Amino acid sequence: MANTLHGFGIGVASKNSRGEVLDVYYPLPLANISGELASVLDGINGEIDSTTARSLANELSAAGQESLAAVTERLASADKPILASSLSDNAPPQTVGDAYLKLHLLSHRAVKPHGTDLSGIFALLPNVAWTDEGAIDLDELQDRQLTARLSGKVLEVSSVDKFPKMTNYVVPTGVRIAHSARVRLGAHLGSGTTVMHEGFINFNAGTEGPGMVEGRISAGVMVGKGSDLGGGCSTMGTLSGGGNIIISVGEECLIGANAGLGIPLGDRCTIEAGLFVTAGTKVVVLDDARKVVDTVAARDLSYRSDLLFRRNSLSGSVECLTNKTAIELNESLHANN
């Protein structure tokens, strides 16, 4: 029997007519499980029947997991497919159920971005229609649309994607999300995070909180406490560019409107509006007297704190100098209770 488990979830699955899993909702996923509970949950994988679910509920109750026991009992009483996933270690997901468990763990704040292996998740997840009747196989969508119309209804298709929006599965405490379709399941939002209408947060990415997000947080990017991503700004991920540098934003940083970031940023840094700093951007470094000290690639300034990146309006060169006025976010904006 296992001494530890990376994660466990039991929930309700959606399937297509061929019996293939389209998505899974795990109400109370667990991470980093040890001791007696790990032994109880070890090896419980795949679809289980109501008898097995009730037996598991009794074992969970005996192990002190009353909330999860109650959820499991409710699942056993419903006429829906019950799916369980038990992750013995932090290995890449092997099934759709595993993949959804890992995404749930991220959005439940049980693990942080890069804290669970998501290798191969794109190939594993099916591309489905996300509708007001749940996940629907694309091959079955037209028939479902016709059925809805014949009954006087319209089947609302909100997106066609491999990843659903987070809020249909998890709504973390202490956050505001103005446009829920712009936050994918697998995003990690710390308490105090506000995502405005144009803000976007991908899976395996997010914020420590508090923070204001009016720009794009790409897959793999983590934003530190007290940082502000201005309207239309962007952070570079590693999915599309082929790079392997993990981009991050430190604490109390400001990325101005329509600016961009392609290096790991230290604390209390500012990138002025409209300036995109990539790893290879040539940066003129200035001292406190505004005299040129050196010219370096932006990647050489990775993780450095208290920097201000700006573009010289006369020469057009990108400059970096010590940031003497680190931003302070309005605390009332992040009281999302």
Rg, C-alpha atoms of the chain = 23
Q: Which of the residues 214, 252, 272, 319 is marked catalytic?
A: 214
Instruction: For 138, list phi and psi in degrees, rounded to 5.
Output: -60, -30
List, edge to edge, every strand of the sheet that includes 270-271. Answer: 176-177, 193-195, 211-213, 227-229, 254-255, 270-271, 307-311, 318-322, 282-286, 292-297
H-run or E-run covering 10: strand 4-15
Q: How far is the C-alpha of 113 from the C-alpha of 235, rounded, in Å?
A: 15
Length of the chain counted residue by residue: 337
Amino acid at 236: M
Q: Distance between CA atoms of 139 and 143, rounded to whole angstroms?
A: 9
DSSP code for 35: H
For the chain, helix, strand, coil in percent to 5 are: 20, 30, 45
**How many angstroms separate the CA atoms of 110 and 173, rounded?**
13
CA distance 95 to 333: 40
Q: Is residue 214 among the annotated active site residues?
A: yes
Task: Give catalytic residue positions.
Answer: 214
